């Protein structure tokens, strides 16, 4: 661990230890902010996403609410664990409200910057939470939903889980810390998921290292009860892991077979193709191979924004050497660039989500036409830079 990271962690730990006892005004009862509900159940602080009609797609109000409740629960000495879940059987969180974001970018507003700024601070708060954070990622978990879950200590998948980072299809990039966690998946799997938007289902998330546990959705209510009943201890993480392990064992014993990784036979090819040093070489490898998998993968990627593909490849190459804070700070620069430096993000959302003609007109027709110098501008400084660490300290001090 480098000196900067250690200094950051020491400051956060000191803040936690010195903060006076904090209690929620209403314990055991929900506090509503419309789209996010917070409550305390036993020793567990619970955050429930409550926007089922939109599959819990995040907006700025929801992000601010989650941040607020995270601070409340971390300060509350009677809360030992923090759990985030959805009230929708279809989705944990299907992403962010990108239509609102691109409308702001198109009209030269400020919402897009405010949204990404605060969302990435929220992601950092989850990654550095002083208490065990558990995400129940059943149903659709994409984009912003990944950021709400993957940085937590425990991520619980179910047979309904559907995971993807499909941002290159709309002219964005896999943000919410994607440069950090995707770049660390084994065998270039993260680069593959980032560039193709490939979906993983259920037990795949265990094989990929994205989920820490797999529990059947029918057993989640009992799991929540057992988490709430955990007694405060010196090592609550160990006790919590024991509970999660037990529920996982029971779930797997109720299944006929433990599922294999659905892309297991493609892992060697993924490692070879997506481990290349440039996006241009990735395309060359796919074109040279005449397998059905390569042809299908190539066809998929050729539909996506060439600028986004090139930007994403560079993002993950840089991300492997950055800690979570520096990754998120970098991604804020990239998000500002995608909103303000070209039209691909606005066009991608229009074509796929607004008009739904599925015929985006990208700024370039192939990755070969995207200049390296143009991509480099996305990584340069912006006015009002984000420092996620400093923003978390401000929240704690407020």
Pick the catalytic residue from 96, 143, 145, 178.
Answer: 96
Report yes or no: 148 and 95 within 8 Å, Cβ to Cβ: no
* Residue 147 annotated to the active site: no
Pick the catalytic residue from 45, 95, 139, 144.
Answer: 144
Which residue, 394, 397, 386, is CA-closest to 116? 386
Pick the catalytic residue from 175, 204, 224, 347.
Answer: 175
Going along 123-207, which residue ranges are E strands?
133-136, 140-142, 154-157, 162-164, 200-201
| Contacts for 68 with CB less than 8 Å, ≥ 6 apart | none
| Contacts for 158 with CB less than 8 Å, ≥ 6 apart | 136, 137, 138, 139, 202, 214, 215, 216, 217, 220
Pick the catalytic residue from 72, 167, 326, 331.
Answer: 167
* Residue 245 annotated to the active site: no
Report yes or no: 50 and 87 within 8 Å, Cβ to Cβ: yes
Residue with tokens 């300060």: 75
* Residue 139 annotated to the active site: no
Report yes or no: 83 and 37 within 8 Å, Cβ to Cβ: no
* Residue 167 annotated to the active site: yes
**Residues 117, 246: Cα–Cα separation, whole Å:** 38
Task: Give the count of beta carbons closer than 10 Å to the beta carbon of residue 167.
Answer: 27
Which residue, 221, 271, 223, 280, is CA-closest to 247? 223
Provide the annotated active-site residues: 96, 144, 167, 175
């Amino acid at each position: 661990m480098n000196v900067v990271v250690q200094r950051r962690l020491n400051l956060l730990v000191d803040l936690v230890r010195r903060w006076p006892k904090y209690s929620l005004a209403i314990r055991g009862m929900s506090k509503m902010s419309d789209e996010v509900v917070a409550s305390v159940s036993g020793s567990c602080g619970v955050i429930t996403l409550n926007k089922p009609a939109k599959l819990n797609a995040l907006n700025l109000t929801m992000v601010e609410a989650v941040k607020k409740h995270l601070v409340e629960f971390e300060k509350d000495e009677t809360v030992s664990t923090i759990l985030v879940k959805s009230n929708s059987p279809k989705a944990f969180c299907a992403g962010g409200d990108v239509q609102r974001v691109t409308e702001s970018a198109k009209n030269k507003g400020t919402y897009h910057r405010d949204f990404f700024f605060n969302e990435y601070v929220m992601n950092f708060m989850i990654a550095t939470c002083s208490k065990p954070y558990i995400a129940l990622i059943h149903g659709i978990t994409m984009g912003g939903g990944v950021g709400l879950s993957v940085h937590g200590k425990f991520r619980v998948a179910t047979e309904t889980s559907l995971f993807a980072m499909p941002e290159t299809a709309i002219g964005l990039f896999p943000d919410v810390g994607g440069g950090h966690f995707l770049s660390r998946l084994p065998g270039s799997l993260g680069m593959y998921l980032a560039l193709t938007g490939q979906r993983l289902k259920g037990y795949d998330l265990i094989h990929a290292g994205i989920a820490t546990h797999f529990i059947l959705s029918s057993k989640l209510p009992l799991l929540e009860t057992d988490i709430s009943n955990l007694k405060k201890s010196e090592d609550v993480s160990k006790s919590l892991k024991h509970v999660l392990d037990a529920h996982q064992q029971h779930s797997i014993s109720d299944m006929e077979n433990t599922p294999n990784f659905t892309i297991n036979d493609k892992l060697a090819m993924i490692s070879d193709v997506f481990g290349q040093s440039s996006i241009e070489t990735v395309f060359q490898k796919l074109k040279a191979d005449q397998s059905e998998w390569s042809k299908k993968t190539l066809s998929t990627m050729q539909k996506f924004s060439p600028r986004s593909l090139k930007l994403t490849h560079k993002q993950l190459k840089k991300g492997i050497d950055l800690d979570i804070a520096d990754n998120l700070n970098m991604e804020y620069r990239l998000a500002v660039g995608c909103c303000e430096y070209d039209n691909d993000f606005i066009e991608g959302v229009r074509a796929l989500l607004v008009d739904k003609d599925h015929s985006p007109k990208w700024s370039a027709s192939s990755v070969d036409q995207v200049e390296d110098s143009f991509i480099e501008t996305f990584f340069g400084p912006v006015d009002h830079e984000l420092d996620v660490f400093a923003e978390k300290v401000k929240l704690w001090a407020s």
